[in-house]
Copies of this chain bind each other. A is one copy, B any other.
Amino acid sequence: MNIHELIGELREPAKTKIVLLVADGLGGLPVVKGGKTELETARVPNLDACAADGVSGLSTPVLPGVTPGSGPGHLGLFGYDPLEFRIGRGILEALGINFAVGASDVAVRGNFCTMAPDGTIADRRAGRPTTARCVEVVEKLRAITLPGVEIFVEPVKEHRFVLVFRAVGLGGHVNDTDPQVTGVEPLPAAGKDAPSQRTAEFANAFMALAREVLRHEPDCSGAVLRGFATYPTITTFADLYGLKPAAIAVYPMYKGLARLVGMDVLDAGQTLGDQMARLKASWNDYDFFFLHYKYTDSTGEDGNFPAKVEMIEKLDAIVPQIRALNPDVFIVTGDHSTPSKFKSHSFHPVPTVIVAPETARPDGNTEFSESACLRGGLGHFQAMHLMLLAMAHANRLGKYGA
């Protein structure tokens, strides 16, 4: 029996509420020998109180040593084996902008870039245009049509857009046209199988026309494509856990991930304050809340240790507002580590705490940090088992077997 079958057999209705607060890229590393991580450096009295009141541990996002992207990182936290369920970047981006992706769609993430006169890429992010500028250029691409396929182009943010090809029988096994370096031309698309080759041919035809349309733009004079993907079928949170889930996330990709597993994506505004207001306003309407906080990851990606510390402290400050709502289960974790030392995601396990006054077994840990969670009562666990723990602590899983 796999875990989803097990949950289907064991899950029980309950009135309990679960809050899952994901601090993206939460885990870190010291930058000097003998130093502290970002989280160990931050002053986090409220998260420390969670550790003291709850049970903590370290979450392994996929497997020891495996660094996840945002997709696998979140799917694991949501209880979907990230080695079994794979979501392409294009689909994530499309979901994140609320585009109604369908079963016959192939979605791709597009990046505007600035082309040199010789046809090579001069700036992979087109000088970071404003989102308003992105909207303007996307409008021009919308004029492009091709026979045999419906095409949608949608702005995302800054240099990013989404491109969707809609036609029956398209495949998603197509390489990125983004060479990931400057000074070379975009790569041609090629499909790994016949349905994907059809997609690749549409993509190449589209890009040839796009190049013409964009050639006189000063900044966004070209584009590259990444993460061709078809829409996956995935059991929803409601069907899997019997929960009524809501997502309160600011950034598109995390809204997209939440929508993919069937969460209601609520208007989260732009700030933690907005997110807290939404949580309070929606408290009676849902029994599961996924709160996403991006800035622990983005500051880590920037390699900005003090900024990551500050963002952790900002997150800490809103924790009492969540706890004041008296969730039966309140979880703080991350989808992966993003040490500012690395300026990227990493494989290191992620500090995690479960506050569940009625059901958690205390572990004596009084500090929310990498080194303290290492000694916590949850031990090292796989992220894909966190929802089992959430459901159990929420009295939502019955006994297995007689």
Summarize A's interface: helix, strand, loop or mixed: loop
Closest CB in chain B relative to A69 CB, distance in Å: 4
- Which residues of B sit under 8 angstroms from A380, Cβ to Cβ? 379-381
- Nearest-neighbor residue (CB-CB) of A357 within chain B: B33
* Contact A392:B65 (CB < 8 A) given known A30-B362, A402-B70: yes
Whether B72 and A385, one on each chain, are in contact in the complex, defined by CB atoms closer than 8 angstroms, is no
Whether A377 and B375, one on each chain, are in contact in the complex, defined by CB atoms closer than 8 angstroms, is no
- Which residues of B sit under 8 angstroms from A224, Cβ to Cβ? none
Whether B62 and A400, one on each chain, are in contact in the complex, defined by CB atoms closer than 8 angstroms, is yes
* Contact A64:B389 (CB < 8 A) given known A88-B402, A361-B348: yes
* Contact A397:B83 (CB < 8 A) given known A379-B58, A380-B381, A402-B89: no
Whether A399 and B67, one on each chain, are in contact in the complex, defined by CB atoms closer than 8 angstroms, is yes
Whether A388 and B63, one on each chain, are in contact in the complex, defined by CB atoms closer than 8 angstroms, is yes
* Contact A69:B399 (CB < 8 A) given known A6-B63, A347-B392, A374-B379: yes
Question: For the complex, is A393 an interface residue (Cβ under 8 Å from B)?
Answer: yes
Lowest 8 A-B CB distances belong to which pairs?
A89-B402, A65-B392, A65-B388, A379-B380, A72-B401, A69-B401, A65-B389, A64-B385
Residues of A with Cβ closer than 8 Å to B?
A: 1, 3, 6, 10, 29-30, 33-34, 37, 58, 62-72, 82-84, 86-89, 92, 226-227, 344-345, 347-349, 357, 361-364, 370-371, 374-375, 377-381, 385, 388-393, 397-402
- Beyond A1-B84, A380-B381, 4 additional contacts (C-beta under 8 Å) are A30-B362, A66-B388, A363-B374, A375-B375
